[in-house]
Structure 1
Amino acid sequence: MGDSVKIYVAGHRGMVGSAILRRLEGRAAAGEPLVLLTRTRAELDLTDQNAVRDFMAAEKPDAVILAAARVGGIHANDTYPADFIYDNLMIQANVIGGAHAAGVTRLLQLGSSCIYPRAAAQPMAEDALLTGPLEPTNEPYAIAKIAGIKLCESMNRQHGTDYRSVMPTNLYGPGDNFHPENSHVLPALIRRFHKAARDGTQTVTIWGSGKPRREFLHVDDMARAALFVFDLDSATYARQTRPMLSHINVGSGQDISILELARLVARITGFAGDIRCDPSRPDGTMRKLMDISRLTALGWRPGIGLEEGVKDTYHWFLKHHDRLRG
Structure 2
Amino acid sequence: MDVPTTSSVPMDKLHEGGRKPLIQVTLKPGSKVQPKWRFTKFGDEASGAALAEHPEDTREQLAAIITGPQNERFAQVMANRLWARLMGRGIVEPVEDWEKGKPTHPELLQWLGREFVRNGYDAKKLVRLIMTSHAYQRATDDTLRTASPLFASPAPRRLEAEQIVDSLFAATGKPFNLEEVSLDIDGRRDLGNSISLGHPRRSWMLTSTSNERDRPSLALPRNQAVCDVLGAFGWRGSRQDPVSKRDRESNVLQPAIISNGTVGIWLTRLSDDHGITALALEDRPVDQFVDTLFLKLLTRMPTAEEKQRYTEFLGAGYADRKLSRCLSPPQPRG
TM-score by length of 1: 0.23
TM-score by length of 2: 0.23
Which one has more relative contact order, counting CA pairs under 8 Å at least 6 apart?
Answer: 1
- In terms of fraction of residues, the more strand-rich structure is 1
